[in-house]
Structure 1
Amino acid sequence: MTSVIAALAIDAHDVHRVADFWAAALGWAVVEEDEGVVSIAPTGGGLGIDVVPVPEAKTVKNRLHLDLRADGSTQAAEVERLLGLGATRADVGQGPDVSWVVLADPEGNEFCVLSRSVQDVAAETGSRG
């Protein structure tokens, strides 16, 4: 027997603001809202994200973060798009020579935009097979 991930959870003070950001960032939609929790997922189904309300006093750093790949654009274009949606640049001590860009969502939850796009990875994987 094994477990299956049902959803990822992101803590938020303003669940709608954070859910709207991630839905726009990922091209997903709100699929459910119940007891203050807003769930977003891809329109075709699959693993989703639950945005969960937390008390105002919670300020500890999250120990899990998302890594994103640009899909149909470059890393630079995707970073600019996400900044336009409300993300901010984040310094987690990554230094100037890393290939990823660290951003934070509107409530400071950090995530990375990786250097290789979805298409770059697919091309590399396809060339090996």
Structure 2
Amino acid sequence: MTSRIAAIALDAVDPRPVADFWCAVLGWQQVDEDADGISIGPPDGAADAAGPTIDVLRVPEGKTVKNRLHLDLRADGSTTAEELARLEALGARRVDVGQGDDVTWVVLADPEGNELCLLQRTVQDVEREEPAG
């Protein structure tokens, strides 16, 4: 027997802007909301519809240290530079978590400072490199 990831929990003092940010980033939608937070997930029929949701949960304190868990993203259908510009236009900002200047990814933060990385290779680059099965 194994487990399956059902949801990824993300803390926020104000869940709405964080949920809206991630919906725009991923092309997802709100699937539930209550006093404790907002759940977002892929639209019905999407290729990743069976995957986990992201639960943006209300917490009383702001972020103070680097996340121990973060999401890595790949551009899909655009260049990495275009996706970086889009993420920044949505409110992501570049952050330094000690990654150095020689890495192949860009470290960003969402509206409440939760880190995420944009990887250099796009979805299409990775698919071209996969051996035919």
Match of 2:87 in 1: 82
What's 1:51 paired with? 56
Aligned to 1:14: 14
2:37 matched to 1:37? yes
Name the SS of the counterpart of 2:22 in structure 1: helix
Shift in CA distance, 60/98, structure 1 to aligned 2, threshold 3 Å? closer
Runs of 4 or more consecutive aligned structure 1 residues displaced over 3 Å after TM superposition: none
Give how far 1:57 is off: 5.5
Matched with 1:96 is 101
Find the partner of 2:67 among 59, 62, 66: 62
Q: Distance in 2 between matches of 1:61 and 1:114?
A: 18
% identity of equivalent residues: 65
The range that moved more, 57-66 or 113-122, is 57-66
Which protein has the bigger helix share? 1
In the superposition, relative to structure 1, how do residues 57 and 116 fare at CA in structure 2: closer, same or farther (>3 Å)? closer
TM normalised by structure 1 equals 0.93
Structure 1 unmatched runs, 5+? none
Pairs aligned (count): 128
| Counterpart secondary structure, 1:8 | strand
- CA distance in 1 between partners of 2:23 and 2:36 (Å): 17
Given the two structures, how large is their TM-score scaled by the length of structure 2? 0.90
Displacement after TM superposition at 1:36 (Å): 2.8
